[in-house]
Structure 1
């Protein structure tokens, strides 16, 4: 199938942003309330990471919304070009692509958690102390994670898995999303928006139990997969439009997207703005030669290749190092050591877990749809 390497690079940049986001959240200054009317507050660089467009650099939720839109784009491409895979083949490949590396990351997190000091770490944020590694590692805890229930207690070992729960669920019925977009072009996106609106209202008004809330969140995030899928369907028209934009118009649009990504996540409708920004960035990556060329740089492409492992494996390393060494050595050294370890771990996980799991998915998928596999092999599309 055709590849859009510039979009792979976007995924890599988004994954790196999530890493920076979690490093930032480790410290209380990232989340404690501040008096913005005080001049001294604005003398602190942290304030600008919280309350200016620079927040995009450490914005985790906007990066995940971009992930969702990119996934929708990539998953919809076979449908858009008329080369859809039989559902059993699609499903087994998707399972191998998402679930096997995820399961490996849970095992990795369980190992590091069991080797780490227990209890809160004084001087670090509530996010650090209350979101992860609050329960003793046990077989029951590990199994609750592997079931991908999406409840807070079943994400204690590796909290980044919250987005994978939704990705896995939406993958189950994504072919229906793509077909709906193709066959009901005028009403499909409005329908997904109404689903978003209804599910968001239920969450806000009724405060459902954790499992129901997780299922409603899946309905909410379906909109962003649909937006990405629609971009895949209309990719040629989008490319033509963006290619006609002047350089000032393009960079003004990217600056606006950067600013929208910086909207605080707690504001009503913030995720819709992240979705709009994601559309703008993906469109620029598709249609502007200069932006696309920059994203296709070797290092950006490499970052894109390891992006899933970077996303999956960075938090356990970060938690482990801060639990062992905070208060013993300067935090800047812990951050430097974390980054120095996280990237090689991600690269190793990509080669030792992701690549074999993708190969397994292709083999099993071909076994379930051998005739389709032969047609693709002779088609010349890569």
Structure 2
């Protein structure tokens, strides 16, 4: 689905731009050159993560239950497989970040550089539980990886429920396929109207399931065979989001709702494959394919470039702007390496263990 890759490429570029505009000395020097653009990235660039949440939900529904019935024989094995695929590039990027942070710490002060990690902090990150356990993040954006895993487990649990009730009169076989859809809709509504309005829950999947659930519902809506069913479902999706926004306006939910509606329409019109269309957006499509690696690896590149520019002493703002552009390019290059040598490799427990060990060793070395 190249159109989804393009959407991920654009969203990832905005998120990286958001971080480039917030951390280090370079954005301070470059800000007078483009105050409106950098101000927008600082204030609203983070909203692009909602696109990823919606697409993640869309792809989860496509993979786990394309027809509304769970197609996973061993849910626990699928959860472990998901964990392995997520953490292999994540652990590699964290190891790089721990080492780079230690190298630049003498030249950069403040909260931009993560402190030397503790052993508990390293284990918590490896288990994707750092926020739940109250540890400081070792890199920017690692919260999303933990939330993505929580959301996947929650979605799989919801869709596994009909199998538990299959022989019960509560869930006749003819209606089984609608139970996961109803459960996802109910939890999405609860998240949009209740959980997402409680900042104390932002370390949990409940806070983000509204956007994720909208993506899942968008996939199932796009699979409707009758035009009347599709029209009614798309109206229900729009009313669900509009009702949540009427209760409490949140830009992040507005972005998620628009993203879900656009994807549902694109799926219905068979635009996701871009069949027969010029491939002028190929660079964005390629960027989308490495977006996860780029999301993980750009922060240590950002730290290293900021430290290098600081060593130049007093300089003009255009040098900072150029440094930010170079940082983005180097981040893409690093992401290509991480994607090729780690992300696309088959997940194995031996590889996960080796990468986990590398993170622990690097953390203990820099903390010694």
Normalising by structure 2, what TM-score?
Answer: 0.70
| Residues 267-276 or 344-353, more deviating | 267-276
Counterparts in 2 of 1:279 and 1:213: CA distance versus 1, 3 Å: closer
- 1:170-211 CA deviation, whole Å, 9 max, x = no partner? 2222223346784164574244222343324443xxxx5xxx
- Paired residue secondary structure (1:356): coil
Q: Would you say 1:353 and 2:350 are equivalent positions?
A: no
Structure 2 residue corresponding to 1:70, chosen from 50, 55, 80: 55
Compute the displacement of 1:281 (Å). Answer: 3.5
Superposed displacement of residue 56, structure 1 = 7.1
Residue 337 to residue 238, structure 1, CA distance change in 2 (3 Å) = farther
SS at the partner of 2:223?
helix
Q: For residue 16 of structure 1, report the CA deviation from its aligned partner.
A: 1.4
Please, which of 129, 134, 146 is the counterpart of residue 149 of structure 1?
A: 129
Residues 239 and 338 of structure 1, relative CA distance in 2, 3 Å threshold: farther
Partner residue in 1 for 2:236: none
Deviations 1:308-349 (CA, angstroms, capped at 9, x unpaired): 101110111102210232361621232132122111110000
1:18-72 Cα offsets, whole Å, 9 max, x none, are: 11111122378989xxxxxxxxx9x97423554xxxx479844322111111111
Q: CA RMSD in A?
A: 3.9
SS of residue paired to 1:148? coil
User: For residues 93 and 107 of structure 1, do their structure 2 counterparts lie closer, same or farther at Cα, with a shift above 3 Å needed?
Assistant: same
* Structure 1: distance between partners of 2:95 and 2:226: 42
Report the counterpart of residue 301 of structure 1 in structure 2: 285
Separation in 1 of the partners of 2:6 and 2:300?
24
Whether the aligned pair in 1 keeps the contact of 2:196 and 2:210 (CA below 8 Å) is no
Name the SS of the counterpart of 1:214 in structure 2.
Answer: coil
Within 5 A, what are the aligned runs for 1:140-219?
A: 140-151=120-131, 154-178=135-159, 182-183=178-179, 185=181, 188-203=184-199, 208=200, 214-215=203-204, 218-219=205-206
Post-superposition shift, 1:138?
Answer: 4.7
Question: Equivalent of 2:5, from 8, 12, 23?
Answer: 8
Alignment pair present for 1:114 and 2:102: yes
Q: Aligned pairs, how many?
A: 306
Compared CA separation, residues 9 and 155, structure 1 to 2 (3 A): farther
Cα deviation per residue 1:269-290 (whole Å; 9 max; x = unaligned)?
2221121121134235434567
CA contact (8 A) 1:113 1:157 kept: no
Q: What is the aligned partner in structure 2 of residue 273 from structure 1?
A: 254
Structure 1: segments with no counterpart, 5+ residues = 32-40, 122-128, 245-266, 365-382
| Contact 2:70 2:159 (8 Å CA) reproduced | no
1:80 to 1:288, Cα distance in 2 relative to 1, 3 A: closer
Residues 1:271 and 1:178: Cα distance change in structure 2 (over 3 Å): farther
Following superposition of structure 1 onto structure 2, how do residues 1-382 of structure 1 map, counting pairs within 5 Å?
4-26=1-23, 45-47=34-36, 50=39, 55=40, 59-78=44-63, 79-81=65-67, 84-86=71-73, 87-118=75-106, 120-121=108-109, 129-130=110-111, 132-151=112-131, 154-178=135-159, 182-183=178-179, 185=181, 188-203=184-199, 208=200, 214-215=203-204, 218-237=205-224, 268-287=249-268, 292=274, 293=277, 297-326=281-310, 328=312, 330-358=319-347, 360=348
The CA deviation at 1:147 is: 3.2
DSSP 3-state at the match of 1:115: helix
Q: Contact 2:72/2:78 (CA < 8 Å) preserved in 1?
A: yes
